[in-house]
Amino acid sequence: MTLTEPAPAKLNLALHVRRRRDDGYHELETLFAFAADGDVLTVAEADADRLEIDGPFAAGLSTTDNLVLAALESMRSPPFGGVPPLAIRLTKNLPVAAGIGGGSADAAAMIRLLDRHYVHNGDNRELAIANANLGADVGACIVGRTRIGRGTGAELHMAADDLARCPVLLVNPGVPLATGPVFKAWDGVDRGPLPEGSAREIALGGRNDLEDPAIRLCPVIADVLARLRDSDAWLVRMSGSGATCFALFDSLEARASAATTVRTARPGWWCLETVLS
């Protein structure tokens, strides 16, 4: 039997960095949302664990040092267990080091799949807490719904979600951007908390404090943002630590028009037309 689980792209609709912590991490507030599309994880029982990676962004990814395998081992540890050896295929449709979940989304897909078919815990919040050691974004990716994240992003809170099925265009200029250097380049200025309100209100009133440092490290991000802002989008912003940027629209037609314009002007850029889940 073959089992399949989606690993949708994660978006930070707003990302406020509040301070550097003594443990080397950053205190932040963020509004997580998820696209309807992303990577795909497929597994089948086997005589030994193995991971294969295919898809347009498979090149260079390790099949031995991978968060998918770390998630597998985590779900075999107490209080979980009962997971047999698996043949795993990860279809990598999303760019790597791109600010849209990456390995966190893939690890979360593995955790959800194993829970549904083998572990039967059924509590996404408990799964997120138990697997917090895999990365700050993994918990949000396990839940896979619009949430406010605090602390390092792992403390999740409900948000009134009025953005379901909102058309969104994701654009990446094809330049990988590691998270660590972007956070290190942040200027340390606390520009205030997330606003109150629904997801749309928070997104509109929020910001991404990592945009400026990311642009200093990867100037083409400014070009991506400018091209998206020259559309009918009601919100344009960089996601996470970049370099992927997104634009939210009120109609599929406006999204399609913007995508056509970007692809014509920059055929080498990656574009994904999707909706928020």
Q: List the catalytic residues.
A: 10, 137
φ/ψ of residue 194, rounded to 5: -60, 145
The CA–CA distances, whole Å, from 212 to 18, 37, 80 equal 15, 27, 42
Q: Which residues of 110-145 are buried (b: 16+ CB within 10 A; e: fewer)?
A: bbbbbbeebbebeebeebbebbeebbbbbbbbbbbb
d(CA 168, CA 272) in angstroms, rounded, equals 8
Report the C-alpha gap between 100 and 92 in whole angstroms. 13
CA distance 116 to 110: 10
What does the block give as tokens for 75? 């779900």
